[in-house]
């Protein structure tokens, strides 16, 4: 059987959205695979501003564990395939990930934004205006957590449920400029990311979904490539010079 190809034309501007599924084959469980639970807590209970107010030690325990798991994981062939596509497409490529791991960067991606934040950074809990700082520490207790120069405690540089995603202006411009949208490994259940495909369709872009299950917004895609990203993405793209 001939494998389907996604053809990238010389005039295409490519917008890629990735979700937890692209890191699944690197050993990082998706939100859905874990039934939305962590150590008996609903994930929303450790990833909200209210959780941070109520129990910052628990929130840091959760993100310290994710830092530990993320540091052990390696990019898989799907991360590499996107980095190779970017190398061919150059400035006509834009990657937006919902993932907070750094597997895209470690796989070689350069033009990317983390709309839900980054595990390897922390920032002021009072949003005093200072930029996030590199922080890969695995905290054993709240007493170990550092403070911002303004004196407030550092919190994970993560967009909690109910907070506004990062870089939305740049993301919206890149979607409206795009002619081809490729979405990988996301269930289509978290907004605004689940709407990106609709915005791209309104602008006339072709839209492709890659993953083993149909996402909730599957009907908005021109094509669905069914399979695990690490298995179907190598060799999937043909790129016009
Ligand atoms: N390859 C591609 N897709 C996969 C693979 C794989 N090997 N394994 C699982 N998937 C797909 C699942 O079919 C599912 O549709 O990945 C998707 C994972 O869905 P979710 O767990 O809901 O993750 P995501 O859509 O990224 O969640 C969005 O919700 O947890 C919050 O802020 C967090 O960024 C996250 C957001």
Q: For ligand 1, atom 17, which residue shows the shortest CA distance?
A: 186
Asked if residue 48 has its Cβ within 6 Å of ligand 1, the reply is no
Same domain, 130 and 229: no
Q: Could you give phi then psi for residue 84, rounded to 5 degrees?
A: -70, -40
Q: Which residue has the tokens 């911002």?
A: 148
Look at the chain and report how many structural domains it folds into. Answer: 2
CB 111 near ligand 1, within 6 Å:
no
Nearest CA to ligand 1 atom 30: 31
Query: Is the CB of 29 inside a 6 Å radius of any atom of ligand 1?
Result: no
Instruction: State the CATH number of the domain containing residue 144.
Output: 3.30.1600.10
Q: Are residues 146 and 226 in the same domain?
A: no
What the block records as the tokens of 41 is 């807590």
Containing domain of residue 212, as a range?
1-28+75-116+165-241
Whether 84 and 177 share a structural domain:
yes
As annotated, the active-site residues are 116
Verify that 128 and 231 share a domain, yes or no.
no
pTM for the model: 0.96
Are 23 and 141 within one domain?
Answer: no
The pLDDT assigned to 42 comes to 86
CA 204 to ligand 1 center in whole angstroms: 26
Please tell me whether residues 94 and 193 are part of one structural domain: yes
* 108 and 216 fall within a common domain: yes
Cα of 194 vs centre of ligand 1, distance in Å, is: 11
pLDDT of residue 2: 53
- Is the domain of 171 the same as that of 218? yes
DSSP result, 126-151? T--SPPPEE-----SSGGG--B-TTS
Q: Could you give the CA distance from residue 153 to residue 39 in angstroms, rounded to a whole number?
A: 25
Between 114 and 31, name the one with better pLDDT: 114
For the cut 90, the answer to whether the pLDDT of residue 105 exceeds it is yes
Q: Answer yes or no: do 209 and 127 share one domain.
A: no
The predicted-structure confidence for 183-228, as pLDDT tens digits, reads as follows 999 999 999 999 999 999 999 999 999 999 999 999 999 999 999 9
Whether 49 and 19 share a structural domain: no
Answer yes or no: do 127 and 203 share one domain.
no
What spacing in Å lies between the alpha carbon of 25 and ligand 1's midpoint? Answer: 12
- Note whether 17 and 128 are same-domain residues: no
Question: Quick one: pLDDT at residue 132?
Answer: 97
- Here the CATH number for the domain that contains residue 196 is 3.40.50.1220
pLDDT at 1 over 60: no
């Amino acid at each position: 059987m001939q494998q389907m190809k996604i053809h990238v034309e010389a005039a295409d501007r490519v917008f890629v959205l990735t979700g937890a599924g692209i890191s699944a084959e690197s050993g990082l469980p998706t939100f859905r695979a874990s039934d939305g639970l962590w150590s008996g807590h609903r994930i929303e209970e450790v990833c909200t501003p209210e959780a941070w107010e109520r129990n910052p030690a628990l929130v840091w325990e959760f993100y310290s564990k994710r830092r530990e798991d993320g540091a052990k994981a390696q990019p898989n062939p799907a991360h590499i395939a996107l980095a190779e596509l970017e190398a061919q497409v150059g400035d006509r490529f834009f990657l937006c990930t919902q993932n907070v791991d750094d597997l895209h960067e470690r796989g070689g991606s350069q033009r990317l934004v983390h709309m839900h934040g980054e595990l390897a950074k922390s920032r002021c809990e009072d949003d005093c205006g200072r930029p996030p700082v590199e922080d890969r520490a695995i905290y054993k207790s709240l007493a170990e957590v550092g403070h911002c120069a303004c004196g407030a405690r550092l919190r994970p540089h993560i967009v909690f449920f109910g907070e506004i995603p990062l870089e939305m202006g740049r993301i919206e411009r890149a979607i409206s400029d795009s002619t081809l949208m490729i979405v990988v490994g996301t269930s289509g259940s978290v907004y605004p990311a689940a709407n990106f495909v609709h915005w791209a369709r309104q602008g006339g872009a072709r839209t492709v979904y890659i993953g083993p299950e149909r996402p909730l917004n599957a009907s908005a895609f021109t094509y669905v490539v069914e399979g695990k990203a690490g298995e179907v993405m190598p060799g999937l793209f043909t790129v016009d010079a």
